[in-house]
Amino acid sequence: MVFSKRLFCLFPILGPLALALLESAALAVSGAEEAADSAAPDRAAAMWRGVQRIVFLGDSITQGGDYVTDCDCWLLAHGFQVEVLNLGLASETASDLTAEENAPHLQKHGFGRPFVSERLDRALAATKPDWLFACYGMNDAENLPPDAGGTRRFAEAITNLRDSAAKAGVKRVILCTPPVYDEKGDATQRFRDESLGRYTAWLLSRRADGWDVVDIHTPMRRALDEGRTKNPAFKFANDGVHPGREGHWLMTRQILTGFFGAKLDGVPCAEDLFPAHGRQIRELVQERMVLRFNAWMTQIGHTRPGVAGGPGAKAGPPITQANDKAADLAKRIHLEMAGSGLIGPRISASEPLLRADFASNPVGAGWELKALPNQKADGGWVETEGHPQRHCLRVQTGYWQSPAMAVSPFQYYRLSFRSRTASRGYWCAVFFNAEGKELAADVYDSVYESVNWQAHTFCVRAHAEAKEMRLRFQPIETPLFLAEAGVEASEQNSAAAWAGEVAAGCPALHFLAPPGRWERLPRTMKTLREGGKLRVVILGDSIANDTSNSMFETLLKRVYPQASLEIVTSVRGGAGCWYYKDESRVRDYVLRFQPDLVIIGGISARYDGDHPAACIEAFRSVIRQIRAGADCEFLLLSGSLCPVGQDGGHLKLTGQALRRSQAELKNFASQMAAMAGEEKAEFFDIHSAWDAYIQASPQPQQWFMRDPVHANSRGKQVVGRILCQYLSPAEPGFTPIQGDAAPAGMGQRTDENR
């Protein structure tokens, strides 16, 4: 086995949000004593920075998919979170054939060869790949003239493909030379591989112009000739065209070693990329690949019969349904990886801050069962059912609290636990400062209902003044059972990967950032673009707190890798500028943190009261007080989530009253925008973007909420990605947003999505 198992530390507590659509971790494992022999993490990590989806185009060799699946396995094994889509199509050519050239195929198979040009624009518009791999030539060589004219037409077709991809916003196009055609001694068919040789020579010549070209043909021809010298019966393809697993692994090796610098000496197949369970892992990866293929091909459509999306073919599932099934497969993949001793993301070799299996009564280890106000605590350490551990924690009322863990300001942490509850519950990470005072900027999220034990994984960022952290677990209606809990230090890329996993399970975000933004944020944008430290204070209520907890800065870091962002969450539940303007609170909540940018948000502005003008003046007062004590810029946000009042945790406005409140919100946003202009502050109506997303989403709003007012991880990622998109470059096709294909009607623009 080529792995050093010291590199990988089993992380046995896997969460559904961390596993959903988790192709891999954000980075290769660092801090270990030795690197895996089959990885080139530094080079590959740099190349893959900001890449979230790649698409493979090609003919039946690509549709067969073994080399694509093997590449996906390598990414999975080496910690890169990239979604891989195989959109190869049997019989397809890169070139547009004439009717005469296509006649033999039509006569033999009952349909003419499809051309990639027929579907290329639709495929790129639907999938929005960051990178595109294309491998064509086998079918072109059969039908194009076997001369310089045929080579020229193939070259023109590939050039058009590359140009179209660039115009569609694809960041990188990687062209593969075609595999060999094995004529097996039939001289009448030798022209086909001779044409493939000419195609290969032309493709390789384009490297001089900066094209990314992976050479598959030359090493495959060499290997075939050498193999046949030793054994006349040696072959890669039984039919001379379609390689078997050995040939596909050779193709994989050329892509991984030639393009990424991977070291695959001694690795005979993709199954051996994993320390154990390789066969099971690869089978699941292949099953997921086929599932996504059928869904995407159906959505894109094409002209070839017999393949999902083509005439008379069985349709694949809708994208959203395929994503749900892919998420289930991802869980199974990562459970197999956990069993193999390899699991991602695991980026730190440091000891965990917390690791509890509750084999013994945890009260002696610092766990506490605590009561809520006006309520007795009811719970205990009990025997468990349906879980390998014999004991677990139970709580009916009140909450369980973990022992204190020492943490560092701005540090990211990865939390994991297993739970079971018939309804829903909450988990919370609370932070304490050096004086032991609990900070208002906590992290709350949902524990989803499950009659069976369910694994959870989350990432959090420690508060700017945090010295200690505790976890809390609280039921809502029915008892909550807790088995296993762990906390370990993480890194920003790992947090970004986790956030991306959550976002990938949500409907796609189609958000058109408003033109002319940033006019009043020149220094902020200069720092982001050119590099340097940017300290951002987020001021507001619990909604502003949730916006901060989206960890949107992890996305911005990928967009602006030279910038260093520090996010200071300075909030108070239910507080707006009407609160912060008085009693030196601006000094306590903002100025002492010396911000470069202040973001003011939340829903507690009291715009729906009798004095909206007074609320506007409260904003003005806070801005002027901050400006008097700090040389910073301002970004004002409208209420991102709930536009209506709430009472006891339930929305109290419906029907006409709700519509009236929404109209008031729109009017208030207009007043905020006018005031922001007067104060030379930027204003972003983030609520309108959120509302448009929810209106178009196939999921109801409560799917994104942990209660009627506050977002869960899904909702936080939507808001965070809207904010990140607002602060991201405006070039066509650019997007830092990860997600999946949107249902029809989800906005007018698709070049901002994954």
- Of residues 729 and 131, more confidence is placed in 131
Q: What is the DSSP letter of 363?
A: G
Q: Which residues, 6 or more positions from 745, have their beta carbon under 8 angstroms from its beta carbon? A: 696
pLDDT of 282 over the 80 cut: yes
Q: How many CB atoms lie within 10 A of CB 588?
A: 12
- Indicate the pLDDT class of residue 331, thresholds 50, 70 and 90: confident
Nearest-CA neighbor of 73 among 308, 248, 300?
248
- Provide the pLDDT for residue 347: 34
pTM reported for the whole predicted model? 0.55
- Mean pLDDT of the 143-155 span: 96
Q: Which residues, 6 or more positions from 4, have their beta carbon under 8 angstroms from its beta carbon? A: 32, 33, 34, 35, 36, 37
- Mean pLDDT of the 55-72 span: 95
- The token pair at 232 is 């006349």
Q: pLDDT digits over 204-219, tens only? A: 999 999 999 999 999 9
- Indicate the pLDDT class of residue 3, thresholds 50, 70 and 90: very low
Q: pLDDT digits over 83-117, tens only? A: 999 999 999 999 999 999 999 999 999 999 999 99
- Provide the pLDDT for residue 587: 95
Q: Quote the percentage of the chain above a pLDDT of 90.
A: 61
- The token pair at 699 is 């999921």
Pick the most confident of 18-27, 201-210, 652-661: 201-210
- Provide the pLDDT for residue 179: 95
- Provide the pLDDT for residue 655: 54
pLDDT of 25 over the 80 cut: no
For residues 438 and 511, the answer to whether their CB atoms sit within 8 Å is no
pLDDT of 8 over the 70 cut: no
pLDDT of 730 over the 80 cut: no
- Of residues 733 and 103, more confidence is placed in 103
- Indicate the pLDDT class of residue 520, thresholds 50, 70 and 90: very high
- Provide the pLDDT for residue 748: 24
Distance CA 725, CA 717 (A): 12
Distance CA 417, CA 392 (A): 11
- Provide the pLDDT for residue 386: 66
pLDDT of 231 over the 70 cut: yes
- Provide the pLDDT for residue 585: 95
- Provide the pLDDT for residue 70: 95
Q: pLDDT digits over 667-686, tens only? A: 888 889 999 999 999 999 99
Buried b (16+ CB within 10 A) or exposed e, 83-92: bbbbbbbbbb
Query: Interior CA angle at 742 toward 90 and 659, to 5°?
Result: 165
Q: pLDDT digits over 124-139, tens only? A: 999 999 999 999 999 9
Q: Ramachandran region of residue 402, left (φ > 0), alpha (ψ -120 to 50) or beta?
A: beta
- Mean pLDDT of the 579-591 span: 93
- Of residues 36 and 317, more confidence is placed in 317
pLDDT of 193 over the 50 cut: yes
List domains and CATH numbers for the chain: 37-274 (3.40.50.1110), 354-490 (2.60.120.260), 515-726 (3.40.50.1110)
- Burial-class residue 34 by CB neighbours within 10 Å (0-12, 13-18, 19+): exposed
- Mean pLDDT of the 166-178 span: 95
Q: Kindly give the pairing relationship between strand 412-421 and strand 532-540.
A: unpaired
- Provide the pLDDT for residue 131: 94
pLDDT of 31 over the 50 cut: no
Q: How confident is the prediction for the chain on average, in pLDDT?
A: 84
Residue pointed to by tokens 């940018």: 597
pLDDT of 118 over the 50 cut: yes
- Mean pLDDT of the 654-662 span: 56
Query: Interior CA angle at 611 toward 606 and 612, to 5°?
Result: 60
- The token pair at 320 is 């959203």
- Mean pLDDT of the 622-630 span: 96
- Provide the pLDDT for residue 71: 95
Query: Is the link from the previous residue into 345 a cis peptide, with omega within 30 of 0?
Result: yes
For residues 14 and 334, the answer to whether their CB atoms sit within 8 Å is yes
From 163-177, 254-268, 581-595, the region with the lowest mean pLDDT: 254-268
Residue type, 743: P
Distance CA 251, CA 247 (A): 6
Residue type, 205: S
- Provide the pLDDT for residue 100: 96
Distance CA 170, CA 159 (A): 14
- Provide the pLDDT for residue 150: 96
pLDDT of 297 over the 80 cut: yes
Pick the most confident of 47-51, 103-107, 652-656: 103-107
- Of residues 548 and 17, more confidence is placed in 548
Q: pLDDT digits over 458-492, tens only? A: 999 999 999 999 999 999 999 999 988 999 998 88
- Provide the pLDDT for residue 662: 65
- Provide the pLDDT for residue 394: 96
